[in-house]
Structure 1
Amino acid sequence: MDWEEVREECIRTGEFITISKKDVQEFPSFFEETNMGLSKGELKQFRDNRPTQSLHIHEFPDYYVAHVDLFNPKFHPVAHGILDTPGIALTLVGGAISVYFLTKAIKKYDLVPMKYEHRDQL
């Protein structure tokens, strides 16, 4: 099995695929090691250089786990964050909203003041 077949299978099923190391070739030159991904206890992570439908591989001692991201975070970090990792994006937005409301409650801070001071014109 080659890595393009792995990509096609991941796209077809939309699932993570586990591949024995003895069943695949070495990585082509367009794969690079990356740390842009959630750790699952792997030894290393690799991504291809495609901006979209990017193959993301987690290397374990005896096998690989592969999946396809709609957007490679190297090229499209915002789209990747929203579409490929929506749980993380929602958590960040929720956290930002929570911080805003806590700050507002504690310090009486308004992002947009509701009252304006009027000064007499000279």
Structure 2
Amino acid sequence: MDWEEIREECIRTGEFITVQKADVQKLPDFFEETHMGLSKGELRQFRDNRATQSLHIHEFPDHYVVHVDLFNPKFHPVAHGILDTPGIALTLVGGAVSLYFITKAIKKYDLVPMKYEHDDQL
């Protein structure tokens, strides 16, 4: 099995695939180690150099766990955040909205004031 066949299988199924190291050839040179990715207890993570349909590999002692990201975060960080990791993006947005309302409640802060101080002079 080669890495392009693995990519095609990931695209076809949309799933994470476990590949035994003994069943696949060595990683090609165009795969780069990356630290952009959620850790799953792996030794290292790798990504290829494709901007889209990017292969993301988690290396374990005897196997790899592989999936395809629609967008490589190196080239398209915003698209990757929205489409490939929507749970994280929604959590960040939810956290920002929650922080706004907490700040508003505690400090009586208004993003858009309803009345300006100089309105009384009109």
Equivalent residue number for residue 37 of structure 2: 37
Following the alignment from structure 1 to structure 2, what is the Cα–Cα distance between the partners of residues 17 and 81? 21
Report the TM-score, using the length of structure 2 for normalisation: 0.96
The size of the alignment, in residue pairs, is 121
- Across the aligned residues of Structure 1 and Structure 2, the Cα RMSD in angstroms comes to 1.1
Q: Percent identity?
A: 85
Residue of structure 1 equivalent to 2:3: 3
TM-score after normalising by structure 1: 0.96
Residues in 2 aligned to 1:65 and 1:54: alpha-carbon distance in whole angstroms: 14
Structure 2 residues without counterparts, runs of 5 or longer: none
Partner of 1:50: 50
Structure number with the higher helix fraction is 2
| 1:1-122 pair list within 5 angstroms | 1-118=1-118, 120=121
Q: Could you give the per-residue CA deviations for residues 45-83 of structure 1, whole angstroms, max 9, x where no partner exists?
A: 000000000000000010000000000001111110100
Q: Which runs of 5+ in 1 are unaligned?
A: none
